[in-house]
Each structure stands twice: as structure tokens, then as C-alpha cells.
């Protein structure tokens, strides 16, 4: 009797195991996953099925454009088919939909440049879109294990017979030691007039930064415009980007007395004579601070994002949205800030940018 029970139990386990395998195989069928996907498979080529994230990545074979040896542009689509697997602020969270992005890829440097982002429903109706301003399209090195790196390699394989893509890059002249420059006394002239534009960036002038600070917010708030003519340390050329419309970095103005003023500040490090530094490494990099501010008792502002780019290679070194770290208070009696808010000082670049854009009621702001 005991042996009979053991055989029955073993048979039941085999049946359950068989059912589990069959069910798993059915659930992981590509055809089943894509049964509601309406993309033309002759045009849209599968890059990879990312099962854990519950999306299938495609690239548009008609969009692939070779822009030079080892370089191409392409449009990619991510088809999300699962529940609650998309980014947290997606308007179609939990529904089957598409995320589309346009990229520029540089296979020689294993780098990519994101140009635009679009969210579409299952019928490809646009729900949201964002074209990244040209001044903020910065080429960044791709992690070899990232979705984008895998996408780049997949498309690269399809271009093996493209002569323009496989051509050898033009030889560049051998780097030579630069000729010694005559010693400069004092500061070189500013690169342009204050208020002039360099693409979408508006020049704010030359600023001097504190040598000691506890956070990027304290650093920015304690900057002052440098109007002297003598050599100095910690000098920066300051620029800002702002658009009255939109909801991206640097986009948005108060309407009436409601809303927030947003801008992106850019700081280019200078040597003691006011010339752009050509030193590779984090402390010497170009800083981009995405900022927003509004009235909350007093007018206050926070940094929402910090990016740092190498002064020589222009590769992105830092990209953080950790607001506690980038806005935190310092020590030694530094009491005019908490972890999220700081009063805007009149000399701070953010306050000056707000004045220069002339947004509604910006001139009426009073700060300590």
C-alpha cells in the first residue's frame, strides 16, 4: 500500500511538472507576447526580447541612416506588454503601449546620443513627446550590458555591407605639443556680451565660485559675478537655457502667481586668466544644473538634476537626481537651507537667469 501511494504521488508530481513546463513555454512564446503588437515585422526588426522587464525592443529598418564611418541614426520602439513594468511616471503604465526614441550611435566610441522620446498607445497615437534641445544632446559612452548597447550592436550587424559605414575614418593629424603660449597677465576678454546667445544658451558673464561648499546648491547660491580684471581662481563662464513653454529641463514659467520657474545653468571652468580649462577629470568639468523655484513663504529653489561633462572628451561623468545630496545643508552655522529648499540670493546665477528671461513676476521676487 505504501509503495502504491508513493507511485501515485510520483505520478502526480510528473503531471504537475509537465503542466508547469508547458504553461511556461506558452507564456514565453514570442508570438503570444506580440499577438496585439501592430508593427509591420517586415519594417520593424526585433532587437531582443527583454523578458524580465516585459518588453520587446524593435528598430525601424527604414529609419537607419548612416552619418559617417561607424556612425548611424535610428528609431527604436519598445513594446510594453506587461502590467506595471514601465517607468513610474508613464501615462500608460499597466497598458500595452510603445516607447519610441531616436538615437545617434557611434560604434567606434561605443557611444550614443538620445535625440527625442515619444510615448504611443497600442494604436500608435501619440500620448506624450519630447524633442531634446540640440544644446543638450550630448554623446555618452554606453554600458556594454545596456539595452542601448545591445541595440547598437544589432543594427551595426545589418550595416556590414554598407561602404559608407565600414569606410575607414579619415586620418587625423598626429597630436603635437602645443606651442608655448605667451604669459598672460590679467583676464582675457569674455567670450561674448552678457545676454548674447550661443545656440540656445544665453551668456550670463563670468562668475567666481566658493572654494568650499557642501552641495551643488550651496555652490551655485554662493557664486557671485566677477567684474574684476585681475587673475583669480575658481572662475566660470555661466550660461542658462530657458523656454517659456514645455515641461522638460529648463522649460516652464509661473502663470499668474502659480507655478515654477525652470532653467538649466551651465558653468564652463576657466583658468586663472579666464580661458576655458582643457583638463580632463570631474572637478574641471562643465556643470549643468537643472533648477526650479517658486514661492513657498519666501521664494526658494532646488536643483533637480546635476550633470558633469569632461572638459576634454565631453563624455558625461555624472548624472544624478538625488535631491537630498545635491541640495543638502552644510555645517558650521549654515542655516538658510534645508534638504530641499534655499532662499534665492540676488547674486546667484539662478536668480540672475530668472531676471534676464523677464518671466511674469520674476522682477517682483524678493530674496534674502
Same domain, 141 and 226: no
Determine the pLDDT at residue 25: 40
Q: What's the domain range around 131? A: 34-166
What's the helix, strand, coil split of the chain in %, to 5? 20, 35, 45
* Same domain, yes or no: 161 and 202: no
pLDDT tens digits for range 74-128? 999 999 988 766 765 677 888 899 999 999 999 998 998 888 888 899 999 998 8
Query: Is there a single domain that holds both residue 208 and residue 304?
Result: yes
Smallest Cα–Cα separation from 208: which of 226, 220, 222? 226
Evaluate the CA torsion angle 91, 95, 100, 105 in order and state its sign: positive
CATH number of the domain encompassing residue 69: 2.40.128
Q: How far is CA 159 from CA 65, 73, 182, 295, in A?
A: 10, 12, 49, 54
The grid coordinates listed for 316 are 558625461
The answer to whether residues 143 and 201 belong to one domain is no
Domain count within the chain: 2
Looking at the structure, tell me whether residues 150 and 202 fall in a common domain: no
Q: How far is CA 173 from CA 170, 176, 181, 315, in A?
A: 10, 9, 21, 22
Cβ partners under 8 Å of residue 110, min gap 6: 141, 142, 144, 149, 152
Please check whether residues 346 and 258 belong to one and the same domain: yes
Q: Say if residue 209 is in the same domain as residue 283.
A: yes
User: Three-class SS of residue 347?
Assistant: coil
- Is residue 2 in a domain? no
pLDDT of residue 334: 41
Task: Enter the DSSP assignment of 270.
Answer: B
The torsion angles phi and psi of 133, rounded to 5 degrees, stand at -55, 145
> How many other C-beta atoms lie within 10 A of the C-beta of residue 329?
16
C-beta separation of 359 from 253 below 8 A: yes
Closest CA to 298 of 328, 333, 343: 343
Instruction: Note the pLDDT of residue 16.
Output: 60
One domain, residues 136 and 86: yes
In a domain, 26, yes or no: no
- Asked whether residue 221 falls in the same domain as residue 346, the answer is yes
Half-sphere exposure of 95 toward its Cβ, with a 13 Å CA cutoff? 13
- State the pLDDT at residue 125: 92
**pLDDT under 50: residue ranges of the chain:** 20-26, 330-337, 339, 362-363, 365-368
**DSSP-assigned letter for residue 315:** -
**How many residues can be counted in the chain?**
368
Q: ∠ CA(46), CA(50), CA(51), 5° rounding?
A: 125
Query: Is there a domain that residue 20 lies in?
Result: no
pLDDT at 183: 67
Amino acid at each position: 500500500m505504501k509503495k502504491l501511494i508513493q507511485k501515485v504521488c510520483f505520478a502526480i508530481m510528473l503531471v504537475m511538472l509537465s503542466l508547469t513546463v508547458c504553461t511556461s513555454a506558452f507564456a514565453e512564446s514570442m508570438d503570444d507576447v506580440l499577438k496585439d503588437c501592430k508593427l509591420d515585422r517586415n519594417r520593424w526588426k526585433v532587437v531582443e526580447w527583454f523578458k524580465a522587464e516585459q518588453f520587446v525592443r524593435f528598430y525601424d529598418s527604414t529609419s537607419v541612416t548612416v552619418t559617417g564611418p561607424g556612425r548611424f541614426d535610428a528609431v527604436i520602439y519598445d513594446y510594453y506588454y506587461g502590467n506595471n513594468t514601465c517607468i513610474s511616471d508613464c501615462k500608460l503604465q499597466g497598458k500595452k503601449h510603445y516607447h519610441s526614441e531616436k538615437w545617434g550611435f557611434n560604434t567606434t566610441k561605443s557611444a550614443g546620443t538620445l535625440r527625442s522620446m515619444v510615448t504611443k498607445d497600442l494604436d500608435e497615437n501619440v500620448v506624450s513627446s519630447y524633442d531634446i534641445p540640440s544644446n543638450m544632446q550630448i554623446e555618452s559612452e554606453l554600458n556594454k550590458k545596456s539595452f542601448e548597447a545591445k541595440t547598437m550592436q544589432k543594427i551595426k550587424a545589418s550595416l556590414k555591407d554598407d561602404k559608407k559605414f565600414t569606410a575607414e575614418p579619415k586620418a587625423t593629424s598626429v597630436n603635437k605639443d602645443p606651442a608655448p603660449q605667451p604669459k598672460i597677465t590679467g583676464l582675457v576678454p569674455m567670450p561674448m556680451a552678457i545676454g548674447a546667445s550661443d545656440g540656445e544658451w544665453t551668456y550670463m558673464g563670468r562668475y567666481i565660485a566658493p572654494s568650499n561648499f557642501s552641495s551643488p546648491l550651496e555652490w551655485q547660491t554662493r557664486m557671485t559675478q566677477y567684474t574684476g580684471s585681475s587673475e583669480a581662481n575658481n572662475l566660470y563662464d555661466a550660461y542658462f537655457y530657458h523656454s517659456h513653454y514645455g515641461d522638460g529641463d529648463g522649460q516652464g514659467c509661473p502663470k499668474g502667481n502659480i507655478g515654477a520657474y525652470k532653467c538649466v545653468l551651465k558653468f564652463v571652468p576657466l583658468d586663472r586668466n579666464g580661458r576655458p580649462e582643457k583638463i580632463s577629470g570631474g572637478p574641471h568639468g562643465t556643470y549643468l544644473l537643472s533648477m526650479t523655484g517658486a514661492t513657498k513663504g519666501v521664494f526658494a529653489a532646488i536643483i533637480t538634476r546635476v550633470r558633469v561633462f569632461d572638459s576634454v572628451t565631453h563624455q558625461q561623468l555624472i548624472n544624478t537626481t538625488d535631491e537630498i545630496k545635491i541640495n543638502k545643508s552644510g555645517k558650521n552655522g549654515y542655516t538658510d537651507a534645508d534638504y530641499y529648499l534655499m532662499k534665492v540670493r540676488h547674486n546667484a546665477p539662478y536668480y540672475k537667469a530668472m531676471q534676464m528671461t523677464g518671466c511674469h513676476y520674476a522682477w517682483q521676487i524678493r530674496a534674502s
